[in-house]
Amino acid sequence: MSLRSFTLHDQIERNAWLHGSCTAFVSGAQRVTHAQYADRAARLAAGLAGLGVGIGDRVAILAHNGQEYVDLFGAAARLGAIVVPVNWRLSAEEVAYVLQDTTPRVLIASPELHALAPVAARANALAYSIGPVQDAAWRAVGDLYVDAPIAAAAIDDSAGLAIVHTAAVGGRPRGALLSHRGLLAAAAKSQQAWNLTPDDVQLGALPLFHLAGIGFTLALQVAGGSTIVLPRFDPKAMVALIDEQGGSVMGSFPPMLGALLDAATEAGSKLASLRVVTGIDAPETLARFAAACPHADFWVAYGQTETSGSVSTARYSERPGSAGRPVAQHAVAIVDELDRPVPVGGTGEIVVRGPMVFNGYWGCDKDNALTFRDGWHHTGDMGRFDADGYLWYAGRSPAKELIKPGGENVYPAEVERALLEHPALAEAVVFGVPDAQWGEAVKAVCVLKPGQSLTAEALIEFVGQRIARYKKPKHVAFVAALPRNPAGGLDRAAVKAAHAGP
């Protein structure tokens, strides 16, 4: 353990000391103080240690948001273990890949999600269930909370705390290893930007398998505040929580904010305690939010899983359309295809350097060497700076053409791989198109094999059975042939230009 190290375990112990009797989490009818949270994390750590979990070991969790989810982060921090949050929107095949990729010693899952992790997917992991146990293959997670105090692991804050799998550039997701240092640095930047205090209450509806859900919860921990842990987004319930429990902070991705405003109008609520909303949304929705909630600010940002959080941020009203200005103690730059600096106003790849940058992709040394070249993290995203230092996001680089329906990440290569498993398809090109409800939608332009026939509906359902349903195409177009570049490869830019509309 380094003299100058500060881990999530240290943060939890600090909160227990300074804010011990204050609420840390509300999960349904359960209210947990900061002191109780430290105790719960310590008891769960003791139970996991009894199973042999130690420094660097992985513990996977496949669950909806709940108290056990945040307990696991605290327990892993005490043990020096690594949490693997598994996206419950994935297919069983995709869940199996994540578990095989990270080889967790223990898997914790909600009963309603057990079917996503059959025996073959669990491999050698010990399986524990949140809630009732109805299958002999699973044990009760409550049995892991034991009174057998163990000392905190002697780890540095550069140690990994979580492996969050990002969308699949080459057809398979990569696990981004995020450190205590990076996640807490990102949380501190949010706490400072939003001026969070122990009085703030986060409406924690974003899933905790998502970096945003993890990051916002940690920001409230850094502030000594509280989080209402919500298993799902329910706009009517959110309005009630804002009005009755002083909800002041929330993350939002389309169509959440619009639905919240609709529910508030129906309930006659002014959302009086809400003061910080952050995420992405359409200008029309943001204008509506500003009119309905003049007491609150919508914060824009740029970041990715690999940066542990936002590396640029600002109030939307400061520079509408931008992604804000770089956060403190981080370098953000724009480079060209030869990694040379691009002048102000020029468009190039966004690169980042600072403590929030992740440790690397799990088991992907070649990818890491490419990503971390020249002492920078190369994001694969394009952007430009204006003369006042505001970052303007300009899409994805050709090598990382990313689609974001409702804030989720979808890479075309992953969808194309699933499409081409259909025996009737010869070729497919996938890209994103604007979508009024979700911000962006997946579109596929496909060529059938000679003599084959297929409907768009049947193909969409075929893909939805193989990968997470949010990744399946919303729009499908069949064409006789796809354009080629001079080298004979698919001209993806030409396909996208010809089929840019829904």
How many structural domains is the chain composed of? 2
> Tens of pLDDT along 315-367?
999 999 999 999 999 999 999 888 899 999 999 999 999 999 999 999 999 88
Has residue 128 been placed in a domain? yes
**Does the pTM exceed 0.95?**
no
Reduce the DSSP state of residue 142 to 3 states and report it.
Answer: helix
Q: 90-149, pLDDT tens digit by residue? A: 989 889 999 999 999 999 999 999 999 887 667 778 999 998 887 888 999 999 999 988
Q: Given this model, what pLDDT does residue 420 score?
A: 93
Q: Is residue 396 in a domain?
A: no
Specify if 206 maps to a domain: yes
- Per the structure, the complete domain to which residue 465 belongs is given by 410-498
Q: Are residues 87 and 225 in the same domain?
A: yes
At residue 259, the pLDDT reads 97
Residue 487: pLDDT over 70: no
Last residue of a domain, one of 292, 307, 336: 292
28 within a domain of the structure (yes/no) = yes
Residue 169 has pLDDT above 80, yes or no: no
Reported as half-sphere exposure (CB side, CA atoms, 13 A), residue 42 has a value of 16
CA 109 – CA 193 distance, rounded (Å): 35
SS3 110: coil
117 with 259, same domain? yes
- Report the DSSP beta bridge partners of residue 126: 106
Residues 155 and 283 in one domain: yes
Q: Note whether residue 315 is domain-resident.
A: no
Output the six-digit token pair for 339.
């990694």
What are the residues whose beta carbons fall under 8 Å from the beta carbon of 144, sequence distance 6 or more? 44, 47, 48, 50, 51, 128
End-to-end CA distance of the chain: 54
Q: Is residue 389 part of a domain?
A: no
Query: The CATH number of the domain where 461 resides is what?
Result: 3.30.300.30
129 lies in some domain: yes
DSSP states along 145-199 = ------PPP---TTSEEEEEEEP-TTSS-EEEEEEHHHHHHHHHHHHHHHT--TT
Looking up residue 264, the CATH number of its domain turns out to be 3.40.50.12780
Q: What is the pLDDT of residue 306?
A: 97
Domain-embedded: residue 88: yes
Residue ending a domain, choose from 292, 318, 333? 292
**Among 238, 272, 292, residue at a domain's last position:** 292
